[in-house]
Amino acid sequence: MTSLIEQAKQKAAYQAVDEHVLPSHRVIGVGSGSTVVHVVARLLQRDPELNAKTVFVPTSFQSRGLLLDGGLNVGDVDQYPDIDVTIDGADEVDSQLNAIKGGGGAHLQEKVVAEAAKKFVIVADYRKNSKILGEQWKQGVPIEVAPFAWRVVLVKIQNMGSKDAKLRMAVAKAGPVVTDNGNFLIDAPFGLIQDPANLLKDIKLITGVVEVGLFCNMAEIAYFGNEDGSVAIRTK
Ligand SMILES: O=C(CO)[C@H](O)[C@H](O)COP(=O)(O)O
C-alpha cells in the first residue's frame, strides 16, 4: 500500500515530467531525493527510442545510480553545460518559488545542474508547500563547508543569529556526514526567512562555505502533490 505522501510525490513528479520533458529535448538534469525516484520512473515510461537520443545529467551518487539502473545515458555537466530542463525535489518552497534544498546533502551539484538549465522545475509533496521558508522545514538551511573550516564557519553562522546551527552527523558512521564532494554540512535554522536572497548572499560570503541550500529566483514552476490526489502548480 503506497502512502498518501508517496502518492503525492508521484503525482507531482509524473505531471512535471509530462509537461516539461519534451521530445525535442536532448539533455535533461535530474535532481536527488525520494521524489526524484518518481521522476526517473516516469522518464523510463517514455518511448525508449526517445530516451536513447537523450542524455541525463545527475546531481548526486543517488540520482546517477537511479539513471544507470534504468539503462539511461548519463553525462556530466562539464560535458553538457546546456541543459534543456532540470527537475528536482525540495525541502520547502515559498510563495515566490524560493526553495530550501540540501536535506539530502546534494545541493551543490543540484544548484549547478539547475543553473545550467534553461528551465528549473521543482516537484514536491504538500508538506513542502509554504508561504515563507522556515514555516515547515525546521532543520535549518543546509550549508556545505570545506571540512577544515567547519568550526570557523559554524561560529560565524551562530553569530549571524542561528544559535542552533550544527554540524550534520552521520547515522551509520562515526563522525560527520561527508557529501559526494568530500565536504561537511552545517544545518542552520534561521526561523522564518523573510528575505532568503539576502540571507543566501550573507552566508555565501563566509570563506569556507562551498554552497548554501537556498535556491532563490531559480525555479520557474513548482508542482505539489496534495493529500486529496490533486496537484497544485505554482508559477512565477
Ligand atoms: O535537496 C535535496 C537533496 O539535497 C532533495 O531534493 C530534497 O531533500 C527533497 O528530498 P525528498 O524528495 O526526498 O523529500
What number is the ipTM of this complex? 0.99
Q: With a 6 A CB cut-off, is 58 part of the ligand 1 pocket?
A: no
Q: Quick one: average pLDDT of 151-165?
A: 98
Respond yes or no: is residue 110 known to be catalytic: yes
Q: Over range 191-197, report the average pLDDT.
A: 98
User: How much distance in Å is there from the Cα of 158 to the middle of ligand 1?
Assistant: 24
Using the predicted structure, report yes or no on whether residue 1 has a pLDDT greater than 70.
Answer: no
96 lines ligand 1 (CB under 6 A): no
- Tell me the whole-structure pTM to 2 decimals: 0.97
Mean pLDDT of 1-20: 95
Indicate whether residue 225 lines ligand 1 (CB < 6 A).
no
Residues 100-113: pLDDT tens digits?
999 999 999 999 99
Q: How far apart are the first and last CA of the chain?
A: 35
Residue of minimum CA distance from atom 8 in ligand 1:
103
Q: List domains and CATH numbers for the chain.
A: 4-131+216-235 (3.40.50.1360), 141-212 (3.30.70.260)
